[in-house]
Amino acid sequence: MNNILKYLRKGELALFIIFLIVFIIFSFSSEYFFTLRNIMNVSGQLSIILIAAIGFSVLLIAGEVDISIGSLLAFVSLPLIEIMNITGSVPLGIILCLIFGIIIGLINGYLSVYLGVSSLIVTLGMLFILRGAVYLYTGQRAIPDELMSDFFFYIGNGKFMGTIPYAAIIGLVILLIFIFVMRNTSYGRKLYAVGGNQEVARLAGYNIKLLKLSAFVICSFLSSISAIILASRIGSANHVAGDLFEFQVVAAVVLGGVSLAGGIGSLTGAAIGVLILSVISNGLGLLNIDTQWQLVVNGVIIIIAVGFDELKRNR
Amino acid sequence: MKYFQTNESILFGLLVLLCIFLSFYNPQFYSIQNIHSILRSSSTVMIVAFGMTILLTSGEVDLSVGALMSFVTVIVMDVINITGSISLGLIAVFGFCLLIGLINGLVRTVLNVNSLIATLAMMLILQGSVYVYSMAAIYNTHLIPLFSFIGQGFFLNIPMPVVIMLFILPFFVVLLNYTRYGRYFSSIGSNPDAAKLSGINNNRYKVLGFVITSLLVGVSGVILASLMDTGQQGSAKGFELIVIAAVLLGGTSFMGGKGTIIGTILGILILKIIDNGIILMRIPQEFQLIVPGFILILAVYFDGIRKKNSG
């Protein structure tokens, strides 16, 4: 137990307790909630948000932001599905999808870091451009996956040993890798330094521009992986996929204690933020509470959580 | 001319070029109907953008304006349907907007939550609760002519939304340019500590900024309801992004500290005329999303270059 506690810092511990409370409340109020089936279901669903949230946190920690990830989700699933349909090769589609993601990350990063346009504005523009491009290409219809490959279907829907969703495993592996990178490698510490105090990072001789650019690429790359899982789950490249996705991710990550000001926060916290919001939406769904109330509850929780965090910090 | 700073002259030049280009391309551009439709759709954006300019100038932002505006269309239609009184409908709307603006402002100042997050949360709350209020769109069953006049009518051959916008405009030009309050907002945005030390109550002005913005959303929402003749739960979805894009294009900085109403107006006109041009030139409508995206990035990029060159 001590070993686990060691890894949770104070703020994360508080979050984890909130998570436990939510979990216990739902376990008592719905008989379906605390079943293996449901918990595995949730873990598969939340991995889409979790993977993108990891990339988003890395970028926030480096002091930049990317609100185009929702549109990116829809955009990169086009090459994925189209290439699969045309060539009949799943790996080719996945590779192309990831390459597109990386290119968009490079563009976002280049415009923000090297040309000096605020990343909020660059990615706001990119949000419009990518969504418009998706509408234009698809004619506002979903493009179905005609290949029907088992492998592709399993990415989002399959379960390891019939219980653990592959999507959850992918999410967990990525999470562990990036927790290690951010915590134990000099690259991760440099990202914290760049986001926390750019001037100090510059004086320490870090290549700030390259570090930030890499964070943009990580964010877009991981969002593309989310896109692949989502496309597999819905079996198509959907033109409205990822609508409001950026807001969901921001909410979860900030709830998890990652600061919008840069340099503060951890991936563990961000992951717990994703857990809390996903469990709440699942639990409310099981209690037959309408989706509109879920929005209200999410909004209130974000305000309370972030508000308490600020009050604590100021004391 | 002294109000035209460099950025605004560039925007104005861009606007003139756009108009000339479009009129060569399609003479219909200068038809009365077309100009009316551009101005009408610009004015709902402008009214909200006046408030957003003040907020951004003071270093804050409000993402909940789109969700609030949709909610307003539902409330105004429903209350007038039930009571048959426009004044009661307006009282309900502005009471509600006042409340939301106050909550946004207090969450920002008392709980000290970053306004991007506070208003994002408010957006979720409003988007959800509007369906709690009513699941179905609310149609105009009261058929009061005066209500339709607000959005669809004309005064001296000028569309009413434009008249309303022109009525509100002077207050904000005077507020930002000629009163100390305008300078308070920009000093709070550019240097909050200095503002506090010189005796300005930062929090009071920030709350005021949120309340003003919400009330303006109320005005635009009523106009929108009258234009559509319905109250729809998702009618102004994504509106916040258009308003913010236009204000940023107009030269207001996201980091607070500077902003002008004239720049904002030019920014909106440019975006709306591009919208209109895309329809007139029979280009696929999807470009209505793509082109503004490019323009936004370019405008801010050139603004950055110019600032660098001037020192």
pLDDT tens for A257-281 read 888 778 888 899 999 999 988 888 8
* d(C-alpha B50, C-alpha B53), whole Å: 5
- Separation of alpha carbons B157 and B83, rounded Å: 31
Given CA atoms B256, B303, B212, B119 in this order, what sign does their dihedral have? Answer: negative
Chain center to CA of A131: 18
Q: Which residues of A touch B238 (CB under 8 A)?
A: none
Query: How confident is the model over B128-138, as pLDDT tens digits?
Result: 888 888 888 88
Alpha-carbon gap, residue B229 to B222, rounded angstroms: 10
What amino acid occupies position B2? K
Structure confidence by residue, pLDDT tens digits, A169-182 = 999 999 999 999 99
Q: Which domain holds residue A63?
A: 42-245+260-265
Of residues B120, B287, B290, nearest to A250 (C-beta): B120
Query: Which residue in the set B111, B132, B296 is minimally distant from A121, CB to CB?
Result: B296
Percent of chain A at pLDDT > 90 equals 36
B125: contact with A, CB 8 A cutoff: yes
Question: Could you tell me if B309 lies within 8 Å of chain A, comparing CB atoms?
Answer: no
Contact B289 A302 (CB under 8 A): no
**pLDDT confidence of residue B307:** 63
The yes/no answer to whether this complex scores an ipTM above 0.85 is no
What tokens were used for A71?
Answer: 């549109």
Residues of chain B with C-beta less than 8 angstroms from the C-beta of A296 = 124-125, 128-129, 132
Average pLDDT value for chain A: 86
Q: For residues A32 and A48, what is the distance between their CA atoms, to the nearest angstrom?
A: 23
Distance CA A13, CA A7 (A): 9
Cβ–Cβ contact B149 with A under 8 A: no
Whether B167 is in a domain gets the answer: yes
Six-digit token string for A76: 């990169």
| CB–CB contacts below 8 A, A to B | 137
- With beta carbons less than 8 A apart as the criterion, state whether A146 and A85 touch: yes
If pLDDT is split at 50, 70 and 90, which confidence band does A77 have? very high
Domain count for chain B: 1
The answer to whether residue B124 is domain-embedded is yes
Measuring CA to CA, which residue among B65, B50, B300, B8 is closest to residue A125?
A: B300
**A136 has a chain B CB within 8 A of its CB:** yes
- CB-CB neighbors (< 8 A) of A78 in chain B: none
The reported pLDDT for the residue numbered A5 is 53
Q: Structural domain of residue B65, as residue ranges?
A: 33-237+252-259
Instruction: Give B114's contacts in chain A (Cβ within 8 Å).
Output: 254, 260, 306
In a domain, A67, yes or no: yes
- Per-residue confidence at B5, pLDDT binned at 50, 70, 90? low
Tokens 């990063």 locate to A109
- Sign of the CA dihedral running B205, B249, A122, A113: negative
Pairing of strands A143-144, B138-139: unpaired
Number of domains comprising chain A: 1
Q: For residue B230, tell me if it sits in a domain.
A: yes
Instruction: Flag if B294 and A115 touch (Cβ within 8 Å).
Output: no
Interface contact A306-B113, CB threshold 8 A: yes
Contact of B280 with B25, CB cutoff 8 Å: yes
Indicate whether B181 belongs to any domain: yes
Would you tell me how many other CB atoms lie within 10 Å of the CB of residue B254?
A: 17
Whether B300 has its CB under 8 Å from any CB of chain A: the answer is yes
| Contact indicator for A197, A101 with CB cutoff of 8 Å | no
pLDDT of B115 > 90? The answer is no
User: Coil, strand, or helix at residue A244?
Assistant: coil
> Does B294 contact chain A (CB < 8 Å)?
yes
Are B125 and A295 within 8 A, CB to CB? yes
Question: Which residue of A lies nearest to B122 if distances are taken between CA atoms?
Answer: A299
Q: What residues pair up with B138 in beta bridges, in sequence order? A: B231
Residue B286 lies in a domain: no
Minimal Cβ distance to A307: which of B107, B248, B287: B107
Quick check: B18 pLDDT over 50?
A: yes
Residues in chain B: 311
Angle of helix A119-138 versus helix B239-249 axis, rounded to 10: 130
pLDDT-derived band of residue B200, with 50, 70 and 90 as boundaries?
confident
Answer whether residue B48 is part of any domain.
Answer: yes
Burial class (CB in 10 A: 0-12, 13-18, 19+), B143: exposed
More confident residue, B116 or B218: B218
The pLDDT value recorded for residue A4 is 54
Phi-psi region of A145 (alpha: psi -120 to 50; beta: other; left: phi over 0): beta
- The answer as to whether B122 is a domain residue is yes
Cβ–Cβ below 8 Å for B296 and A126:
no
Q: How confident is the model at residue B2 (pLDDT cuts 50, 70, 90)?
A: very low
Which class for B77: exposed (0-12), middle (13-18), buried (19 or more C-beta within 10 A)? Answer: buried
> Across all residues in chain B, what is the average pLDDT?
83
pTM as predicted: 0.83
CA A295 and chain centroid, separation: 18
- Chain-chain contact of B286 with A115 (C-beta, under 8 angstroms): no
Q: What is the 3-state secondary structure (H, E, C) of chain B?
A: CCCCCHHHHHHHHHHHHHHHHHHHHCHHHHCHHHHHHHHHHHHHHHHHHHHHHHHHHCCCCCCCHHHHHHHHHHHHHHHHHHHCCHHHHHHHHHHHHHHHHHHHHHHHHCCCCCHHHHHHHHHHHHHHHHHHHCCCCEECCCCCHHHHHHHHCEECCEEHHHHHHHHHHHHHHHHHHHCHHHHHHHHHHHCHHHHHHCCCCHHHHHHHHHHHHHHHHHHHHHHHHHHHCEECCCCCCCHHHHHHHHHHHCCCCCCCCCCCHHHHHHHHHHHHHHHHHHHHCCCCCCHHHHHHHHHHHHHHHHHHHHHHHCC
CB contact under 8 A, B254 and A120: yes
Query: Is any Cβ of chain B less than 8 angstroms from the Cβ of A22?
Result: no
pLDDT at B68 over 80: yes
Answer yes or no: is A273 within a domain: no
Rg (CA), chain A: 19
A111 vs B contacts (CB less than 8 Å): 297, 301
* Nearest Cα residue in chain B from A130: B290
B143: left (phi over 0), alpha (psi -120 to 50) or beta: left
Residue closest to B125 by CA, chosen among B58, B70, B61, B203: B70
In this complex, the residue of B118, B287, B294 whose CB is nearest that of residue A125 is: B294
Place of tokens 């709070």: B188
**pLDDT tens string B76-91:** 988 988 888 888 889 9
- Residue A26 is assigned to a structural domain of this protein: no
Higher pLDDT, A209 or B117: A209
Q: Which pLDDT belongs to residue A220?
A: 96
- A139 falls within a domain: yes
> How far is B112 from A257, CA to CA, in rounded Å?
14
**Cβ-nearest to A299 among B121, B296, B301:** B121
pLDDT tens digits for range A111-164: 999 888 888 888 888 988 998 899 888 888 888 888 888 888 888 888 888 788
Tokens 């990202």 -> residue: A191
Comparing B258 with B4, the larger pLDDT belongs to B258
Say whether residue B131 is in contact with chain A using an 8 A CB cutoff: yes
The answer to whether B102 touches B212, Cβ cutoff 8 Å, is no
CB-neighbour burial class of residue A197 (10 A; exposed 0-12, middle 13-18, buried 19+): middle
pLDDT at residue B1 tops 60: no
Strand partners, B139: B230
